[in-house]
Amino acid sequence: MTPRFLAVLLVLAVLAGCSTTSNQPPSSQPAASQAAAKEPTLYTAKQCFGSMVNLAKRWDLGAMPFHLESELNADATGQDGKATVWRGFFASRTRGTMKTFICSGSYLPSSPARGFTDTPETPFGATVPTLMFDPSLLLVDSDKAFAATLDHGGSALIKKDPKQPVICTLDWDPKKKELQWLIYFGKSAAEREGVAVVNAKTGAFISGGK
């Protein structure tokens, strides 16, 4: 082989080495960043509720909320008044219909898509107008409402079961004419170890029981 041919082979070998190096898999650091980006986002109620109200007003300017609830899933127990999924129920008197607005920070396939989504509007029941409330009445966030329950039986239930599931719901009490947090210690309102009621405007503990 001529010296020139040998030189060409040498250059090709060097280029092949460079190509092999550039095609090596990335380091574990970007992979770790991607894994971190997949972590679910936990929200308190108010972190979702304001955007829900704005979306509801775009749907109908007179839309009012009548129920808000957290959703249990594999992301979190619901303790501390935080969840990856919240559902806000809104109604329009002029339309006679309701819509649900969903706030999700979950990546679970079984959960709603991350961000804000809504459901098609449907007719509402006869009791809904009595449950509608002014959004500005919600002053105490779900984490503060949850904290108010701890000295009234909540701590004992969590000590008994550190993974105790908790569901937070927000509703208007038409008899007392006040907005209330209902904190359920259980997988649902029906399957509960206890329930506590907290004033959503003042944060005062109202009552508790089974």
Residue range 112-147, pLDDT digits in tens: 999 999 999 999 999 999 999 999 999 999 999 999
pLDDT of 12 strictly over 70: no
Task: Quickly tell me which residue has 């509703």 as its tokens.
Answer: 171
* DSSP state for residue 104 in the 8-state scheme: E
Q: Specify burial of residue 155 (Cβ count, 10 A radius: 0-12, 13-18, 19+).
A: exposed
Please check whether residues 99 and 156 belong to one and the same domain.
yes
Domains: count for the chain: 2
Q: What is the pTM of this model?
A: 0.82
- Please provide the average confidence, as pLDDT, over all residues in the chain: 88
Please check whether residues 152 and 115 belong to one and the same domain.
yes
Specify whether the CB–CB gap between 99 and 75 falls below 8 A.
Answer: no
Please check whether residues 83 and 146 belong to one and the same domain.
yes
pLDDT digits (tens, 9 = 90+) for 141-181: 999 999 999 999 999 999 999 999 999 999 999 999 999 99
Please check whether residues 21 and 69 belong to one and the same domain.
no
d(CA 185, CA 153): 10
End-to-end CA distance of the chain: 93
Please check whether residues 187 and 169 belong to one and the same domain.
yes
Please check whether residues 30 and 104 belong to one and the same domain.
no
pLDDT of 21 strictly over 90: no
Please check whether residues 18 and 116 belong to one and the same domain.
no
Ramachandran angles phi, psi of 117, nearest 5°: -135, 170
Please check whether residues 87 and 8 belong to one and the same domain.
no
Q: What is the pLDDT of residue 36?
A: 52
pLDDT of 26 strictly over 50: no
**Structural domain range at position 154:** 45-209
Please check whether residues 27 and 59 belong to one and the same domain.
no
pLDDT of 30 strictly over 80: no
Please check whether residues 109 and 178 belong to one and the same domain.
yes
